[in-house]
Every structure is written in C-alpha cells, then in structure tokens.
C-alpha cells in the first residue's frame, strides 16, 4: 500500500472523501495545509490523520516554503501527493522529486476554466455543461495531463452554491477512484 499525503487550503471535503474511500491502494498518512485556519485540519484530527500547517508567510520565498513541505513529506515516507483544494501553484522544488506522482482535482472540464473560481467562470460563460477533472500536476496552472473527467450539467436555475454542491458530489467520487486507479497502475508498471 502506497503512502499518500494530501495538501489542502480550505474545508477539506475532498481530503475526507479520499480518506474514507481508500480501497487499499493507498493510505493517507499526512495532511498539510498552507493556512492555520483551514477546516481540513479539524477533519484530519477527527479521522486520526497526522497534520502539519506550513504557512508560506513564514518563508522568504516559494522554494524555501516548498522545501519545508518536502522535508515533512519525506519524513512520513510519502509515495504520492494529492492536491485537494490546495490553492498554490506547485514549483519544481516539489514537482521534481514527485514527478508523475502529484494529482490534482479541478472543478471544471479542463482545459476550460483553469485557475481560480472555475465555478464562477462556468456560470459567467453560461455553459450547459461543466464538470470535474483529475489531472497530474506540471509547472502550469491546471495544464498537466488529464487522467479522468466527469460532466456536470448546468441548468438555468443553478446558483454558485447549487453548482458547487453538484461538482463536489462528483469530486468526492471521482478523485478517490482515480487515485486508486493511477496508484494501482503505477504499482503494476513498477513490478
């Protein structure tokens, strides 16, 4: 079983789904947040998952911050990293040692609506479909290779909140399932 660290910035609902839907391919061994007030920390405590809050404000630059994150991840013997609502662009400091083993979930059908607030972007564009994308991380903003996607219908009655809820439901199923799939495939290739 592979050791998985989750990086989050907010509520941690995807983090919780990843923990609860682990099917034996991975074990969540660590949650790292970039904010001391992230609700994800409380979820992790309830689930018995070790946590570490590392604020970028406490470091002189991004590389030093990411090195601190990397040091903690290595201490836990982490094999894979999942970004679950982690609102930071990952640079080479973290990317290089975990190349091909950092997976992100994004609330749109990439390449449409990358970056921040994809839900508002979809509503502003008046699309009839948006969705969820799980992808590998690269140096760009939501530009890494796509692993899986699922469509979410957008109705005229949808508000930001209702669309966000529909997207979260899909994320909570698709992300853990996709993590399990890529980790198992990697194990097969590695043998």
Q: Which residues of 63-82 are buried (b: 16+ CB within 10 A; e: fewer)?
A: eebbebbbeebeeeebbbbb
In the annotation, is 106 catalytic?
Answer: yes
- Is 58 annotated to bind a ligand? Reply is no
On whether the CB atoms of residues 132 and 106 are closer than 8 A, the answer is: yes
Is 32 labelled as part of a ligand binding site? Answer: no
Nearest to residue 147, comparing CAs of 188, 93, 101, 85? 101
Catalytic site residue from 106, 166, 168, 172:
106
Establish whether 87 is an annotated binding residue. yes
Question: Is 104 flagged in the annotation as binding?
Answer: yes
88 is in an annotated binding site: yes
**Residue 166 labeled ligand binder:** no
Q: Is 100 annotated as a binding residue?
A: no
Give the annotated binding-site residues for (6R)-10-formyltetrahydrofolate: 62, 87-90, 104
Which residues are part of the catalytic machinery?
A: 106
Residues contributing to the annotated binding site: 12-14, 62, 87-90, 104
């Amino acid at each position: 079983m592979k050791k998985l660290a989750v990086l989050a910035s907010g509520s941690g609902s995807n983090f919780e789904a990843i923990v609860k839907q682990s099917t034996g391919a991975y074990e969540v061994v660590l949650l790292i947040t970039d904010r001391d007030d992230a609700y994800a920390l409380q979820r992790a405590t309830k689930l018995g998952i070790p946590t570490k809050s590392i604020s970028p404000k406490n470091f002189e630059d991004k590389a030093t911050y990411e090195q601190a994150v990397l040091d903690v991840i290595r201490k836990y013997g982490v094999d894979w990293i999942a970004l679950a609502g982690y609102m930071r662009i990952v640079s080479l400091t973290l990317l290089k040692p975990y190349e091909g083993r950092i997976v992100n979930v994004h609330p749109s059908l990439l390449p449409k609506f990358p970056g921040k607030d994809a839900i508002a972007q979809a509503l502003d564009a008046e699309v009839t479909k948006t969705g969820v994308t799980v992808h590998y991380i690269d140096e760009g903003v939501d530009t890494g290779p796509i692993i899986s996607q699922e469509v979410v219908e957008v109705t005229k009655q949808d508000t930001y909140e209702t669309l966000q809820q529909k997207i979260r439901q899909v994320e909570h199923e698709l992300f853990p399932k996709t993590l399990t799939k890529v980790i198992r495939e990697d194990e097969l290739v590695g043998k």
